[in-house]
């Protein structure tokens, strides 16, 4: 009888041990094949008001693609997401991690991130896609691609609009530039150097500010003394809001025209500054607006309101949702054209395949969320159109149709990059 009980206990114990071990055995089994992409956003640090919603959008979109579309080309997308903290050293560390983890390409939210990433990425032939783009990132063209038009295109489009629709005086209007002290600002500076004389605009001053600036009263006092007609700001929302508030306090605005590059003009700017402060301010942006009647709007809105409702109305969310759509289309094209085995090997051969048979084969409408993306030899901007907006009663409203931004070969100017 004792032996029988012992046999039962032993059998039960063995069964329990088998059940406990099975999950471990299963976990060690073959992993589902995926297509890895690297994504970094400045979700903390001095640009978090932009980076946090952009990171949300990237990952929300990947979830949509995997859960509802079954991935791309028969494979799920595995997003390797990292916070850059808007810090150059962290960016370099992140890019190395993406390469070590065999990501097929990587995306950054900001031009500052990509300016820190581009040297190591170009040297390794590791293709990168930047949301907010600056000329120095892709001129001359190498392995970094701009998702949309760049900050130089912003300035040129706004300057033309200003000359054709706002400026009424004789002679040349006087424009002051207030620029974030990185590629976000320098792209606008380079465009003004290249085209201001041709457009008939007198650049009277160029001031720089930091992302964490706490006051620009001194710089704006100097600008006010020059009696400008227009102030152009290329920055991120928090410092832009501060600059405009300071301009209001000094009695500089209203009274002059203020124009913004596309890193500045977003819902975060209105929220930080207050709708009354930024009323009438113009800006350039390369995506549609929330609520526009385009194919991708409904699904993006559904996911945003379900997962990150506080981001609804923020146009930065649109840019990064679109970025994830584009990265998914790139890897879909690559896996279709060369096969999963080539991509699964990782390293430079996989990266070359993604660039040649993915990025450079793009012909994608991005579900209407911004201009269609395609590769033109010699031009690493994938979308090439933008619109002028104005803040009206707290809403960011388009005031033009789509404007095509021509290619500028900045590297032909002897001052470029210096």
SS3 per residue for the chain: CHHHHHHHHHHHHHHHHHHHHHHHHHHCCCCCCEEEEEEEECCCCCCHHHHHHHHHHHHHHHHHHHHHHCCECCEEEEEEEEECCCCHHHHHHHHHHHHHCCCCCEEECCHHHHHHHHHHHHHHCCCEEECCECHHHHCCCCCEEECCCEHHHHHHHHHHHHHHHCCCCCCCCEEEEEEECCHHHHHHHHHHHHHHHHHCCEEEEEEEECCCCCCCHHHHHHHHHCCCCEEEEECCHHHHHHHHHHHHHCCCCCCCEEEECCCCCCHHHHHHHCHHHHCCCEEEECECCCCCCCCCHHHHHHHHHHHCHHHCCCHHHHHHHHHHHHHHHHHHHHHHHHCHHHHHCCHHHHHHHHHHHCHHHCEECHHHCECCEECECCECECCCEEEEEEEECCEEEECCCCEECCCCCHHHCCCCCC
Residue by residue, pLDDT tens for the chain (418 residues) are 444 444 444 444 444 444 444 444 344 556 789 999 999 999 999 999 999 999 999 999 999 999 999 999 999 999 999 999 999 999 999 999 999 999 999 999 999 999 999 999 999 999 999 999 999 999 999 999 999 999 999 999 999 999 999 999 899 999 999 999 999 999 999 999 999 999 999 999 999 999 999 999 999 999 999 999 999 999 999 999 999 999 999 999 999 999 999 999 999 999 999 999 999 999 999 999 999 999 999 999 999 999 999 999 999 999 999 999 999 999 999 999 999 999 999 999 999 999 999 999 999 999 999 999 999 999 999 999 999 999 999 999 999 999 999 999 999 999 998 8
* Amino acid 169: pLDDT: 87
* Amino acid 418: pLDDT: 80
* Amino acid 6: pLDDT: 41
* Amino acid 417: pLDDT: 84
pTM: predicted TM-score of the whole model, two decimal places:
0.87
* Amino acid 14: pLDDT: 43
**Domains of the chain with bracketed CATH:** 34-149+294-383 (3.40.50.2300), 152-285+405-412 (3.40.50.2300)
* Amino acid 248: pLDDT: 98
* Amino acid 30: pLDDT: 61
């Amino acid at each position: 009888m004792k032996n029988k009980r012992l046999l039962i206990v032993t059998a039960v114990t063995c069964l329990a041990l088998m059940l406990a071990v099975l999950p471990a055995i299963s976990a060690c089994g073959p992993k589902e094949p995926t297509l890895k992409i690297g994504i970094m956003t400045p979700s903390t640090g001095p640009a978090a008001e932009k980076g946090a919603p952009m990171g949300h959008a990237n990952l929300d979109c990947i979830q949509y693609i995997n859960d509802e579309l079954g991935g791309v080309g028969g494979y799920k997308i595995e997003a390797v997401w990292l916070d850059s903290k808007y810090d150059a050293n962290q960016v370099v560390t992140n890019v190395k991690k993406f390469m070590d983890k065999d990501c097929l390409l990587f995306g950054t939210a900001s031009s500052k991130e990509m300016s820190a990433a581009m040297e190591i990425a170009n040297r390794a032939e590791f293709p990168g896609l930047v949301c907010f783009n600056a000329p120095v990132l892709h001129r001359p063209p190498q392995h970094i691609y701009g998702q949309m038009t760049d900050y130089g295109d912003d300035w040129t489009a706004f300057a033309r609009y200003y000359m054709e629709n706002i400026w009424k005086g004789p002679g040349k209007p006087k424009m002051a530039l207030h620029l974030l002290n990185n590629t976000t600002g320098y792209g606008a500076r380079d465009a003004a150097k290249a085209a201001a004389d041709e457009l008939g605009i007198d650049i009277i001053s160029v001031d720089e500010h930091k992302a964490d600036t706490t006051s620009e009263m001194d710089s704006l006092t100097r600008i006010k003394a020059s009696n400008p007609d227009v102030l152009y700001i290329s920055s991120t929302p928090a410092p832009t809001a501060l600059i405009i508030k300071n301009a209001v306090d000094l009695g500089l605005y209203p009274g002059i025209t203020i124009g913004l590059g596309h890193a500045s003009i977003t819902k975060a700017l209105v929220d930080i500054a207050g709708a009354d402060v930024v009323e009438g301010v113009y800006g350039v942006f390369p995506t549609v607006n929330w609520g526009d009647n385009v194919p991708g709007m409904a699904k993006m809105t559904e996911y945003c309101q379900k997962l990150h409702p506080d981001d609804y109305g923020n146009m930065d969310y649109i840019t990064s949702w679109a970025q994830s759509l584009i990265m998914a289309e790139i890897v879909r094209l690559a896996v279709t054209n060369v096969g999963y085995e080539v991509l699964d090997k990782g390293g430079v051969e996989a990266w070359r395949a993604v660039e040649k048979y993915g990025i450079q084969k793009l012909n994608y409408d991005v579900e209407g969320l911004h201009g269609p993306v395609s590769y033109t030899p010699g031009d690493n901007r994938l979308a090439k159109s933008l619109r002028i907006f104005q803040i009206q009663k707290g809403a960011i409203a388009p005031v033009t149709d789509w404007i095509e931004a021509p290619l500028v070969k900045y590297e032909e100017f002897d001052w470029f990059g210096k």
